[in-house]
Structure 1
């Protein structure tokens, strides 16, 4: 079921708080750990989350024009703008922005994609388990499946596959079956590496291959 705006923001704000809790007290080395997002370490992802939390419709357009319509460049500038010398200061900036409801002129579901996918970008390399509301994960997955890769989605990655949430039996698409936890399906569709043993079904190898990361920052609506 598609959640309304108030529910989306409730989930996004709660996820920001959980990430803050998970990263408070991590070691200095942890901040330099490569994330699942190609080319970014954990500190970069947090700085990006600060940037997107503070980006509204006008500032998004302004920043994109300043970057000559280059999403990679706009994202890099956003990270540079908010990445502090001390990662804990960057985390503090995220804490200050935790309850903001600003968003670029895109579908609000992209905020759920960002919250879950970037949460796992950070948590999985650090060995921190993540837990997300089922409604947030399934709405994010549904959005990614109907959105082309060129617009930050993952439609092409799942072409010819029937994705099945093994917890609920809910499914998307037609073709060779792939069953997994919804969060793993979301990550794969979003171009993140997920071990093949997390998937079942004849379509699993195709999805894992399609999910191989590419060096781009234009994913899930902004990366």
Structure 2
């Protein structure tokens, strides 16, 4: 039987679930933790939270105006919107995030992409802080399948080209070639460009996948 993807309403419900889980972890952070470097480039934990708030606040038309205003410089676009939605203090940044928990506002793109946005950026925060929450396998499988199908905001499909990728804890599997195996979370994060998660993968294709982050 063909694999069935979640319906749009179920995807948005999953987005809300993942935002709520992250919010529950953020409320107890201290100042040093808010200032901790995340896995997302140069951004701190607080900046990642502000980015998630911006992503849930800027609709398609405003997103287009913002992108045009930066002449399609997406890094500058993200930085400007992050600055807009970051509070004067971590408490204010957290409160702004709290207000968008149920938001279904997004930039153009498939809903599963915005589920991936929350899943990946939440782990960008959790891994450096040593937080242990893991999204449901069903949620991660939806994101993993999406990343395996296309390069959207990250070269996820290109990263696994020519490899057989299989989850050890769920139904996700795709491709042909040397095997790469790991948890659905590790595979999802590795496809999203987080090289540190390659250390959690095994199989004859794992070294190939890891090497693609250095080219």
Preserved CA contact (<8 Å) 2:37 2:43: yes
The question of 1:50 aligning with 2:44 is answered no
Question: SS at the partner of 2:79?
Answer: helix
CA distance in 2, matches of 1:211, 1:24: 34
Q: Where do 5+ consecutive residues of structure 2 fail to align?
A: none
Preserved CA contact (<8 Å) 1:195 1:208: no
Preserved CA contact (<8 Å) 2:189 2:197: no
The question of 1:176 aligning with 2:178 is answered yes
| Superposition TM-score, scaled by structure 2 size | 0.93
Deviation at 1:40, TM superposition (A): 0.8
Preserved CA contact (<8 Å) 2:48 2:121: yes
Who is 1:118 aligned against?
121
| CA-to-aligned-CA distance 1:4-32 (integer Å, 9 cap, x gap) | 11110111011111111101121100011
Spell out the pairing of 1:127-146 with structure 2 (5 A cutoff). 127-146=130-149
What's the C-alpha RMSD, in Å, of the aligned pairs? 1.6
CA change 1:38–1:108 in 2 (3 A) is same
Question: SS at the partner of 1:194?
Answer: helix
Q: 1:33 aligns with which of 19, 32, 36?
A: 36
Who is 1:10 aligned against?
13
Deviation at 1:196, TM superposition (A): 4.5
Spell out the pairing of 1:51-130 with structure 2 (5 A cutoff). 51-130=54-133
CA change 1:140–1:153 in 2 (3 A) is farther
| Superposition TM-score, scaled by structure 1 size | 0.90
Moved over 3 A (4+): none
CA distance in 1, matches of 2:138, 2:125: 21
Higher relative contact order (CA 8 A, sep 6+): 1
Q: How many residues align?
A: 212
Question: SS at the partner of 2:63?
Answer: helix
Which 10-residue stretch deviates more, 176-185 or 100-109?
100-109
Deviation at 1:208, TM superposition (A): 2.1
